[in-house]
Amino acid sequence: MRAFLASSIGVATAAALALPLALPSTALAHPAAARQSAGAVPSASAAPSAIAGSTQSLPLVPVGPAANRASGVPGMSTSPRLPETRGLSARDVKTFSLVGVVWDDASTRLDGRVQVRTRSVATSDWSEWQDVDTHNSEHAADPDTAERGTGRVRGSTAPLWVGQSDGIEVRVQAEHGDREASSGLPSGMRIELVDPGESSRPHSDAKNGNGNAESSPVVDDDDKGELALLPGMTMEMAESSSANVPMAPLGAQEIPALNKADSTADAVLADEALAAAPYIGPRPKIVTRLGWGADESLREKGFVYTNTVKAAFVHHTASGNNYACKDAPAVLRSLYRYHVVSSGWRDIGYNFAVDKCGTVYEGRAGGVAKAVLGAHTMGFNTDSMGVAVIGTFTSTATPKAAVDAVARLTAWKLGLFGADPRAKTTLRSGGGNLYAKGSNVRLNVISGHRDGFATECPGRLLYNALPPTRTASAKLQGRP
């Protein structure tokens, strides 16, 4: 198989701070988004504006001792012995649904506490202070890879889903640690306010694998090999969708579930020459990128693949549990925009996502049956897949539906590459904070993110659910 392939296919004045106007982070993080923010006329291949969403980027400024100002923001003292503190006074902003903090240098750690308050559009009430997970880049491309070398990649916290909001207040305080001197914060810190936009789709009813030619968004124009797009379809959408043919027709919003016997044919798509009776679990239903409304103009063109899939790393998004399952596509659109526009990655980092109701979603583009290189577990993105359960599961139990979905997904995808979910495998580290670059590391085939990187992800309670998940996944594969 290919080792590396790029395919063509009213509170606004609560504190007396003079802050710069909001700047579009799109201009800093991604060329396609920068063109949108600059008001450029979209080309024929640009994504429909209805799904584009938006990102507001506001710089965080010194407060407390660094600003030599009286106490005005709750929890921020002016004591000179306190660590550096930055923040943003309460203010009106355009509507957003997800927040996160980014900074200039992706290699710099944010050692501190990040908290936000938001004002609900529906009720006009301000929330209590909420913590944002400072996961410090453990979800990211490996060092020395092309994705890390673009010059766009920035340090970032985990994103937090807050629902539709139109007010924001921020405080970030560096950790004091064991030192008397103040700890510093990274330079260029900004709060990113993400609006997922509305999901609009091409005029196609290809929701499953038995669609007909009329439902296809891309057809052969008079047998000349030219592509004719249905209204609302773009070339980027067609590229992404075509990577899942023939499991579903072009333009499908979901890939249908299959029984175990029929799922064995998917191994051909994975380019794997498996034994005559491979252990492949039944394929789960998977909502495609088109199904959850991904703006394909944001990501980099083409796809990157690795040799195989030897392991699955399970994550939580650490974005909170305050979402309804019907809102999961909007959460995904926000995560995608945060990863690409705010953090500077080539695409969403995870290969798959699972919501708390057990629905499985396609993540990074390139084909759900293929070994697509992700940016989910720094040091171990090669020859692995990343599955993120949407939510935070450190002190909240993971819903059974979500855990069961992880078992179904891994039984199928790992089975395509001959991997036993109960076994161990060896991966070569690409560099991280647990294992030296180039070292061979023995890991469970189904591992938690924390097994490859020093992090709390996927949350204690989801991590504790992995042993029975391995057993259930192997059983679905039909292993004795």
C-alpha–C-alpha distance, residues 2 and 260, integer Å: 27
Confidence at residue 135, expressed as pLDDT on a 0 to 100 scale: 72
Amino acid identity of 132?
Answer: V
Q: How many domains does the chain have?
A: 2
Q: Are residues 189 and 69 in the same domain?
A: yes
C-alpha–C-alpha distance, residues 419 and 309, integer Å: 8
Pure H helices in 293-429: 328-337, 400-416
Residue 225, burial from CB neighbour count under 10 angstroms (0-12, 13-18, 19+): exposed
- Is residue 11 one of the residues assigned to a domain? no
- Is residue 400 one of the residues assigned to a domain? yes
Q: Which of 165, 195, 225 is the last residue of a domain?
A: 195
Say how far residue 117 (Cα) sits from the centre of its chain: 23
Say how far residue 346 (Cα) sits from the centre of its chain: 11
Q: Are residues 68 and 110 in the same domain?
A: yes
- Is residue 235 one of the residues assigned to a domain? yes
Confidence at residue 374, expressed as pLDDT on a 0 to 100 scale: 94
What CATH number does residue 328 fall under?
Answer: 3.40.80.10
Q: Are residues 408 and 436 in the same domain?
A: yes
Q: Are residues 366 and 427 in the same domain?
A: yes
What CATH number does residue 101 fall under?
Answer: 2.60.120
State yes or no: cis peptide before 48, omega within 30 of 0: no
- Tell me the chain's radius of gyration from C-alpha atoms: 22
- 3-class secondary-structure state, position 325: helix
DSSP 60-93: -EEEGGGGT----STT----TTSPPEEEEEEEEE
Residue range of the domain that includes 116: 26-195
Token pair recorded at residue 212: 């007909």
pTM of the model: 0.82
C-alpha–C-alpha distance, residues 289 and 332, integer Å: 9
Q: Are residues 393 and 465 in the same domain?
A: yes
Q: Which of 151, 168, 195 is the last residue of a domain?
A: 195
Contact 104, 90 (CB under 8 A): no
- Is residue 9 one of the residues assigned to a domain? no
Contact 250, 216 (CB under 8 A): yes
Q: Are residues 183 and 297 in the same domain?
A: no
Q: Are residues 412 and 321 in the same domain?
A: yes
C-alpha–C-alpha distance, residues 361 and 368, integer Å: 9
Predicted confidence pLDDT, tens digits, the chain (480 residues): 444 344 333 333 333 333 333 444 433 434 444 433 333 333 333 334 455 799 999 999 998 654 443 344 444 444 455 678 999 999 999 999 999 999 998 888 898 999 999 999 999 999 999 999 987 555 566 666 667 656 688 999 999 999 999 999 999 999 865 444 445 899 999 999 999 998 756 544 444 443 333 333 343 333 434 445 666 789 999 999 999 999 999 999 999 999 999 998 898 887 655 554 589 999 999 999 999 999 999 999 999 999 999 999 999 999 999 999 999 999 999 999 999 999 999 999 999 999 999 999 999 999 999 999 999 988 899 999 999 999 999 999 999 999 999 999 999 999 999 999 999 999 999 887 778 899 999 999 999 999 998 889 999 999 999 999 999 999 999 999
Say how far residue 395 (Cα) sits from the centre of its chain: 21
Q: Are residues 142 and 246 in the same domain?
A: no
Q: Which of 195, 221, 251 is the last residue of a domain?
A: 195
Q: Are residues 338 and 448 in the same domain?
A: yes
Q: Are residues 327 and 439 in the same domain?
A: yes
Q: Are residues 190 and 228 in the same domain?
A: no
Confidence at residue 435, expressed as pLDDT on a 0 to 100 scale: 86
Residue 14 Cα distances to 48, 116, 352, 401, angstroms: 38, 15, 41, 44
- Is residue 208 one of the residues assigned to a domain? no
Q: Are residues 239 and 187 in the same domain?
A: no
